[in-house]
Structure 1
Amino acid sequence: MEAPGRAIPTIRGESPRRRTRLARASGSALVAAGLWWVLAGPEKALHPLGGLAVVLAVAASLALPAGRSVGMRLATLPGLAAFFLRASVVGGVDVAWRAIHPRLPIRPGFVHYRCHLLHGPPLTLFMGIVSLLPGTLSVRLEGRLLTVHVLDRESRSVDGLRELERRVAALFPSPRSGQRPEEDA
């Protein structure tokens, strides 16, 4: 019987802490290598700078303190990705049309949107996606009030923000059991 508070050895005598560091290093190496491959292309995948980038990413992940685990509902990720791709294409076409239109039909301004997502990863992801979508940019967050710069104040941008918020909320389970993030005050 193990004493309380004592680490239980795993296969080959590995402690859970060592296994966690190994998992972080492996994950960082895979992500950094994948990112290098995407950015540099397959023909330069084995370039020495790529190897250096991977080593530095692993060193940074081990040197920095580990954050708490962010639970996500991965089953909702394809829906969020599809929404993002569709909104990116539709927004890109809209921005291009406005740019080449002879009268340049833009009415830039700010939209204030009250967000109900929890602070931390859900809100950060939401604001990042808003800034990546064509024609919108997250400008400021005060409490739960998000200021978004839009190309057309009179467009239905708030509806798009609501839909994006709903999809991001579905990705992150609420820490309060039985309560959806939209219900948080």
Structure 2
Amino acid sequence: MAEIRRARYAVPLCGPMVLLRGGKRCPRALACVPVVEILKSTIIRPATHKGTRKTMRLASALNRSVIFALLWVTLTGGEADALIYGGLAVAAATLLSLRLYPADQPGIVLWRVAAFLPRFLTDAFMGGLDVARRALDPRLPIAPGWVRAELTNRNEAAGVLLGGVVSILPGSVAAGPGDAAMDVHLLNVTGYSADRMQADERRVLGLFDRRIGSLDAANG
């Protein structure tokens, strides 16, 4: 994409009409060399991308197969009689996951998840205590209701993951991400903080293996 964008800006400086005008050599031929090289790299690049996508898909399929296989062994206790069915289940789950979430989409980095968990578990524990306190208080200090949380991006995968995180935390349920926004039902709407919601979104975005592109920005 970088080469294509550069070509779009460079071509008008010395386009084909100047290069071929009257069959004469362009007086700015030297200025045209970068444009030609950019266009050549753009033409050759799709074959390279094809190989890269194939490698990426193979690596992603292998990683997902390992994860699904470990999950199957954990659920079945490693029973030998279940291995045949496990092989079929792992293959089907891997193909389905690649279909639903292609390998060229941003992925989750496991070590970042490990760094994310302590804060998430702390928030979940404190949220559980807060919900229990409100439920046991005779005055029942709750104010249930909906809020519309404004997000900084509209990436679907990031929005779904953020909604899952919000829904797991006690006292809140996400209705699903919209266009750079998310409807959230809270047990106590008076305690809602937009700054905290955006901080949670930044932590979720930080779990992906590459930065969410500008096309996914809310104001992009």
TM-score for the superposition, normalised by structure 1: 0.69
Answer yes or no: is the 8 Å Cα contact 2:145–2:188 preserved in 1.
yes
Change (3 A) 1:55 1:16: same
In structure 1, runs of 5+ residues without a counterpart are 9-14
Answer yes or no: is the 8 Å Cα contact 1:95–1:135 preserved in 2.
yes
Change (3 A) 1:117 1:6: closer
Q: 1:130: how far off?
A: 1.1
The alignment of Structure 1 onto Structure 2 pairs a total of residues equal to: 170
Answer yes or no: is the 8 Å Cα contact 1:73–1:171 preserved in 2.
yes
Match of 2:127 among 83, 91, 96: 91
Q: 1:115: how far off?
A: 1.0
One-letter amino acid matched to 1:175: G
Answer yes or no: is the 8 Å Cα contact 2:160–2:176 preserved in 1.
no
Q: How much is the aligned-residue C-alpha RMSD, in angstroms?
A: 3.6
Answer yes or no: is the 8 Å Cα contact 1:117–1:169 preserved in 2.
no
Q: 1:149: how far off?
A: 0.2
Q: Which has the higher contact order (CA 8 A, sep 6+)?
A: 1
Q: 1:117: how far off?
A: 2.1
Larger deviation: 80-89 or 152-161? 152-161
Change (3 A) 1:121 1:60: closer
TM-score for the superposition, normalised by structure 2: 0.59
Q: 1:112: how far off?
A: 1.9
User: In the alignment, which residue of structure 1 is the partner of 2:213?
Assistant: 175
One-letter amino acid matched to 2:155: H
One-letter amino acid matched to 1:66: P
User: In the alignment, which residue of structure 2 is the partner of 1:105?
Assistant: 141
Query: Rg bigger for which structure?
Result: 2
Q: 1:175: how far off?
A: 2.1
Change (3 A) 1:92 1:20: same
Answer yes or no: is the 8 Å Cα contact 2:158–2:205 preserved in 1.
yes
User: In the alignment, which residue of structure 2 is the partner of 1:146?
Assistant: 182
Q: 1:44: how far off?
A: 4.5
In structure 2, runs of 5+ residues without a counterpart are 1-43
